[in-house]
């Protein structure tokens, strides 16, 4: 049947406090809502939390992360969220904002857009100096939202709808965090998590000095850190940092997904706490699972890429492990934070840094170079999902034979500066014609009491992260555990390895664009930031990244026309459900649909699972942001679409009549977009 869209979305229902018992059961380790005793009442902080939808296009857009042209999105597994936290030191009035986004990367395009929106709303209250934006690095998110061409190659150019959805979602989360500011305690704790990561580049790791290797006896960084927010003795928010790639979802997956870190946050917020909004509209609990130095940390413990459908189980398992390690820390006293809130950010032209002898390790001065892509980068990370055929990690004798004349014709000096990298693409030279990759990058240092976060715009290996952390800790006088790398922050420059790892030219070394001395250059910058933070002095901003918003190329045409199948109407049920289902079974309904790109339904939903109440009212029990639902889109001929909605019946599902509702939007011949709704026949959960 086709009906008019309901006047309220699921979010309205949640705000009314009517939804409970969503999805799967909570794990055996359910984070308590009341905190363990901790001296958290003397910090003098105002803290705000915000949560918003930042999902972009879910159909016919290249997915970001694996670099595969064939990985075009065809539906939605879980929505991508942005979670924001603002911390204000009441004594000084200084503040910082942390945004953690279920996103593949934070490109400078998004960083600049969010800062512009913040400036328009709040003046100079939030600027590049005190806003740290990081990504969880899911490899199952839509791409096309960068202003640098390399990242839009698999998406056939820039996708404005996805860009606006990401920027608007991050800004909305920031607004909500600002509005939520209230006296709060902050408690910091540390733990150990094993069995959730493995070093995918062990041969490169083993090249590091013994002092580095001894810090990670199993070649993994098991350090898990939790910053929890408390009000009136209750935990109302948490940020967890743990290094592991969000590559539990495979390159064969075609559904947009928040991957393992997104599931960890979703589970804590909506499966453990059950309701994500209170009756006054404020979030009941916000949990972010952020990245640190995860450059060589894979979730695929067998060092084999996952395959569909096992990637769904792997995602949930890894996410639960991260959640359990974080929730276990809530039962620990932790350390109540107090003291200053402060931050610094500078821009560095990584293509032209003179690195002083005290940071190079060999007593000599060295220089970074223009960025270059290595042959081993083209190979991809074989443990998580290979890229181009014909390339390998490490030595590439065939490419050596083919490329020597090409590379040296381009620039013998550049080839020497990048050695021993087999240069696949001298992409810095291509930047002269069109911006392919970013060269002027932001580096940031944030302090919240004793916690220090080093904002690095890329993928940092655990030993490279260790050296950055030691550099900062030694200057500011902090415990090493309290100094973390915040990876994927504010921009993206690919990887960061130690010089010793670089020499191995595994995938991570081939993806360290600015040459062997890139890490020492950033240690030098981190030292300057730490010194300024310690001494209360300012630093010159440096060469800001240019605004490239007017140069983005869009090559993929948009939706031209939607038409229902012959003799059908939009929203008609093509394949209906069975009459009865039990817990653990999958409900599947196929609708005559339309292209999901006509309306991204940000902050809303493409689907609802509804249960009939005793009085006859239909109540929403799940939507397209839930783990138990999936939304599949498939083109049917030229202009028609088939939409398949599935729901895995949870074991806690209340018995009784249920139905599936699909919300679509059809584009007519004049370009007008008309919303419609399809509703399945009722079925009974027993």
**pLDDT number for residue 27:** 34
Distance CA 455, CA 444 (A): 5
**Which pLDDT band holds residue 307 (cuts at 50, 70, 90)?**
confident
Cβ atoms of 359 and 526 closer than 8 Å: no
Cβ(202)–Cβ(193) below 8 Å: no
8 A C-beta contact, residue 105 and residue 457 = no
Buried b (16+ CB within 10 A) or exposed e, 273-300: bebbbeeeebbbbbbbbbbbbbbbbbbb
Distance CA 246, CA 300 (A): 10
Q: What is the pLDDT of residues 571-617, one digit of tens each?
A: 999 999 999 999 999 999 999 999 999 999 999 999 999 999 999 99
Confidence band for 415, pLDDT divided at 50, 70 and 90: confident
Contacts of 402 (CB under 8 A, 6+ apart): none
The number of helices, as runs of H, and strands, as runs of E, in the chain is 16, 37
Per-residue pLDDT at 130: 98
Burial class of residue 410 in the structure, from the number of CB atoms within 10 Å of its CB (0-12 exposed, 13-18 middle, 19+ buried): middle
| Domains present along the chain, CATH in parentheses | 31-337+439-474+481-535 (no CATH), 573-685 (2.60.40.2300)
Residue pLDDT, tens place only, 422-439: 888 999 999 999 999 999
Place of tokens 């580049």: 201
Under the banding of pLDDT at 50, 70 and 90, the label for residue 281 is low
Which residues, 6+ apart, have CB-to-CB distance to 681 below 8 Å? 573, 576, 577, 659
**Three-state DSSP string of 283-346:** ECCEEEEECCCCCCEECCCCCCCCCCCHHHHHHHHHHHHHHHHHHHHHCCCCEECCCCEEEEEE
Q: So what's the pLDDT on residue 8?
A: 34
Four-point Cα dihedral 305, 308, 309, 314, nearest 10: 20
CB 183 within 8 A of CB 87: no
Residue 603: strand pairing partners: none
Q: How far is CA 174 from the centre of its chain?
A: 16
Q: Under a CB-based contact definition with an 8 Å cutoff, are residues 170 and 52 in contact?
A: yes
Q: How confident is the model at residue 381 (pLDDT cuts 50, 70, 90)?
A: confident
Residue 285 backbone dihedrals phi, psi, to 5 degrees: -160, 135
Residues 166 and 56 sit within 8 Å (Cβ to Cβ):
yes
Average confidence (pLDDT) over 614-623: 96
Neighbours of 589 (CB within 10 A): 24
189: nearest Cα among 47, 325, 23: 325
Say whether pLDDT at 30 is over 80.
no
User: Looking at the predicted structure, is the pLDDT value of residue 450 above 70?
Assistant: yes
Which of 272, 281, 316, 280 minimizes the C-alpha distance to 20?
272
Distance of CA 528 to the CA centre of its chain: 28
pLDDT at 515: 97
Q: Quick check: 397 pLDDT over 80?
A: no
Among 226-235, 273-282, 546-555, 663-672, the minimum mean pLDDT is found in: 273-282
For the question of residue 201 being annotated catalytic, the response is: no
DSSP 512: B
> Does position 390 have pLDDT exceeding 90, yes or no?
no
Q: DSSP letter for 277, please.
A: B
**pTM reported for the whole predicted model:** 0.92
The mean of the pLDDT values for the chain is 90
Q: What is the mean pLDDT of residues 360-367?
A: 94
pLDDT digits (tens, 9 = 90+) for 459-478: 999 999 999 999 999 999 99
Res. 411: pLDDT tops 90: no
Report the C-alpha gap between 432 and 416 in whole angstroms: 20
Q: How many CA atoms lie within 13 A of 145 on its CB side?
A: 31
Cα distance between residue 683 and residue 686, in whole Å: 10
Torsion of CA 354, 357, 358, 362, to 10 degrees: 130
Distance of CA 226 to the CA centre of its chain: 18
**pLDDT band (50, 70, 90) for residue 551:** confident
Give the model's pLDDT for residue 531.
Answer: 98
With H, G, I as helix, E, B as strand and everything else as coil, classify residue 272. Answer: helix
| Residues 533 and 346 sit within 8 Å (Cβ to Cβ) | no
pLDDT computed for residue 9 by the predictor: 38
Within 10 A of 493 (CB to CB), how many other CB atoms are there? 26
Q: Per-residue pLDDT tens for 106-148?
A: 999 999 999 999 999 999 999 999 999 999 999 999 999 999 9
Q: What does the pLDDT read at residue 273?
A: 79
- Please check the confidence at residue 402 and state whether its pLDDT lies above 80: no
User: Mean per-residue pLDDT for 612-629?
Assistant: 96
pLDDT of 164 > 60? The answer is yes
Q: Return d(Cα 633, Cα 60) in angstroms, integer.
A: 9
Q: Which of 9, 248, 298, 511 is catalytic?
A: 298
- C-alpha closest to that of 248 among 260, 258, 256: 260
Q: What is the model's pLDDT at position 215?
A: 98
Distance CA 418, CA 466 (A): 23
pLDDT at 19: 27
* Position 15 pLDDT exceeds 70: no
Residue 277 predicted with pLDDT over 70: no
Share of residues in the chain with pLDDT > 70 (%):
89
* pLDDT computed for residue 555 by the predictor: 87
CA distances to 244, 289, 339, 379 from 138, rounded to whole Å, are: 11, 12, 34, 20
């Amino acid at each position: 049947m086709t009906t008019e869209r309901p006047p309220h979305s699921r979010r309205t229902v949640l705000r009314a406090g009517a939804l409970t018992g969503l999805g799967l059961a909570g794990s055996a380790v359910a984070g308590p809502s009341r905190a363990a005793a901790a001296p958290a009442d003397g910090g003098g902080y105002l803290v705000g939390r915000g949560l918003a939808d930042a999902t972009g296009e879910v159909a016919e857009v290249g997915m970001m992360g694996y670099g595969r042209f064939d990985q075009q999105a065809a539906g939605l597994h879980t929505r991508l969220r942005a979670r924001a936290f603002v911390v204000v030191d009441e004594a000084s009035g200084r503040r910082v904002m942390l945004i953690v986004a279920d996103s593949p990367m934070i490109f400078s395009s998004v960083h600049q857009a969010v800062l512009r929106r913040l400036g328009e709303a709040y003046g100079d209250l939030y600027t590049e100096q005190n806003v740290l934006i990081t990504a969880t690095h899911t490899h199952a998110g839509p791409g096309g939202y960068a202003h640098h061409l390399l990242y839009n190659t698999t998406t056939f150019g820039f996708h404005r709808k996805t860009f606006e959805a990401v920027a608007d979602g991050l800004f909305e989360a920031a607004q909500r965090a600002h509005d939520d500011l209230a006296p709060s305690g902050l408690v910091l704790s540390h733990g150990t998590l094993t069995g959730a990561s493995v070093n995918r580049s062990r041969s490169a790791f083993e090249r590091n000095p013994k002092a580095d290797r001894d810090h990670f006896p199993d070649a993994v960084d098991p350090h898990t850190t939790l910053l929890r927010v408390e009000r009136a003795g209750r935990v109302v928010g948490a940020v967890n940092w743990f290094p592991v790639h969000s590559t539990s979802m495979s390159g064969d997956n075609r559904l947009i997904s928040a991957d393992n870190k997104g599931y960890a946050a979703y589970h804590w917020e909506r499966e453990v706490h059950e309701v994500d909004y209170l009756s006054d509209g404020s979030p009941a609990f916000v949990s972010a699972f952020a990245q640190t130095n995860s450059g060589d940390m894979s979730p695929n413990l067998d060092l084999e890429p996952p395959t569909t459908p096992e990637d769904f189980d792997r995602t949930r398992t890894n996410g639960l492990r991260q959640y359990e390690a974080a929730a276990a820390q809530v039962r620990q006293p932790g350390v109540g934070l107090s003291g200053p809130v402060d931050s610094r950010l500078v821009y560095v032209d990584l293509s032209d840094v003179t690195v002083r002898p005290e940071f190079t390790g060999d007593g000599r001065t060295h220089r970074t170079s223009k960025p270059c892509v290595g042959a081993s980068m083209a190979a991809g990370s074989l443990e998580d999902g290979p890229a181009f055929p014909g390339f390998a990690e490490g030595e590439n004798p065939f490419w050596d034979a083919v490329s020597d004349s090409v590379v040296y014709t381009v620039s013998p000096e550049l080839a020497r500066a990048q050695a021993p990298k087999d240069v696949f693409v001298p992409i810095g030279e291509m930047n002269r014609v069109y911006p392919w990759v970013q060269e002027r990058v932001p580096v940031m240092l944030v302090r919240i009491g004793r916690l220090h976060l080093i904002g690095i715009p890329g993928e940092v290996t655990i030993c490279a992260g260790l050296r950055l952390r030691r550099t900062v800790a030694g200057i500011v006088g902090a415990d090493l555990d309290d100094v973390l790398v915040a990876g994927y922050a504010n921009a993206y420059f690919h990887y960061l390895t130690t010089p010793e790892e670089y020499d191995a030219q595994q995938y991570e070394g081939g993806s360290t664009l600015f040459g062997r001395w890139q890490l020492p250059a950033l240690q030098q910058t981190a030292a300057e930031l730490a010194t300024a933070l310690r001494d209360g002095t300012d630093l010159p901003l440096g060469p800001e990244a240019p605004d490239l918003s007017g140069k983005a190329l869009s090559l993929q045409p948009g939706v031209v026309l939607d038409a229902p199948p012959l003799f059908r109407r939009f929203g008609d049920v093509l394949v209906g459900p069975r009459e009865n289902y039990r817990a653990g079974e999958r409900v599947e309904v196929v609708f005559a649909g339309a292209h999901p790109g006509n309306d991204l339904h940000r902050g809303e939903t493409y689907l609802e699972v509804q249960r009939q109440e005793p009085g006859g009212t239909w109540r929403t029990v799940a939507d397209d942001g839930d783990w138990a639902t999936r939304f599949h889109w498939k083109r049917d001929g030229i202009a028609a679409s088939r939409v398949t909605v599935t729901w895995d019946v949870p074991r806690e599902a209340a018995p009784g009549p249920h139905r599936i509702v699909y919300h679509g939007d059809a584009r007519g011949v004049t370009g007008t977009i008309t919303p419609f709704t399809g509703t399945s026949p009722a079925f009974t959960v027993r």
